[in-house]
Each structure stands twice: as structure tokens, then as C-alpha cells.
Structure 1
């Protein structure tokens, strides 16, 4: 997911997406631990998406604080 797409989401959608991605990351790590993960690169992509969403949530919080 690109940052431009993420910026267009509402705060509620961002929070929901963040929870979903964290759950997906948990499942991917579990699958990786038991050697059933087909695409290990997906872990890195999900972590980057989590970071992007977290950054945008913090940016929005800073804008609202000012």
C-alpha cells in the first residue's frame, strides 16, 4: 500500500488497517517459524505498511495538536 493511498483514509480506517496488519504479521511470523510460509518477503512488506500507517497516524496527531 502506498503512502498516498494511506493518507486518503480516515483515522478510523487507519486504526482498523493497523490492527489488521499487526494480526497478519503475527500469523506470517508464526508460519515462518514452522516453515510453512510461501513468501517470506511478505513479512518485510507488512512491516513497512505498519510503519507507514503509524507514521501517518502520528503526523495527523501532530497536525491536530497545533
Structure 2
């Protein structure tokens, strides 16, 4: 997702998206371990998305 889209979401939606990304990351790691993952860059992108959401949540909490 784009940062502008994420900033427009409320805290509950961000937490749901964060949970979904954690589950997706787990599945990607399992696929990598079993050598079923062909595009390993997906793991990196998912980790970056998680970091973006955590940053936005921290910014909203600081306000």
C-alpha cells in the first residue's frame, strides 16, 4: 500500500493490516524453507510494509 493510503486509515484498520502482513510473512518464510518460493524479494517487501505500518501507528500514538 501507498503511505498516503495508510495514513488515511484508522488505528483499527492499520492493526488489522499489520496482522495480515505478519501472517503473509510467516507463509512466505515457510515457502522459502520448503524451497517453494521463487521470488524471495516478496519477503523483503512484506517486512518493509510492516515497518511502514508500525511507523504510522507510532506517529498516530504520539499525537
Q: TM-score, normalised by structure 1?
A: 0.91
Which residue of structure 2 lines up, in the alignment, with residue 51 of structure 1? 51
1:19-45, Cα deviation, whole Å (9 max, x unpaired):
000000001011001100121111010
Alpha-carbon RMSD across the aligned residues, in angstroms, is 0.6
Which residue of structure 2 lines up, in the alignment, with residue 28 of structure 1? 28
| Cα shift at 1:2 | 1.6
Unaligned runs of 5+ in 2: none
| Secondary structure at the counterpart of residue 56 of structure 1 | helix
Q: TM-score, normalised by structure 2?
A: 0.95
Unaligned runs of 5+ in 1: none
* Deviation beyond 4 Å, 4+ runs, structure 1: none
